[in-house]
Amino acid sequence: MKKIPEDIKRLDERIKTLQQKEKKTRQSGQIKNEYTDAASVGFRIGVELVSGVIVGGGIGWLLDKWLNTTPYLLIIFLLLGGCAGFLNVYRFAKNKEATKE
């Protein structure tokens, strides 16, 4: 049986220590820096805006096909979807500001 070198043992101990620190950080729910927080907020805002427009456009398109009123309902629901997206972003930003204080 081969003997494990001392430097490999120390490296293994360091790896286990770092894994325990990482596990504690994940369990506490702490964000490591402000860049990850800003990136998650930006991604959320982008998704809210785009999803509102896509859902509104989809509903308008389906209603146009069903009622044969092409392109009027599509335009109306695209605008409504955009407004819904902005409203969601406003609510999110207001909630985020309240939690910071």
Per residue in 24-62, pLDDT (tens digit) is 877 766 656 677 778 888 999 999 999 999 999 999 999
Query: pTM here?
Result: 0.62
Residues 79, 72: Cα–Cα separation, whole Å:
11
Is 60 exceeded by the pLDDT of residue 79?
A: yes
pLDDT recorded at residue 40 = 86
| 81 burial via Cβ count (<10 Å: 0-12, 13-18, 19+) | buried
Q: What is the pLDDT of residue 32?
A: 60
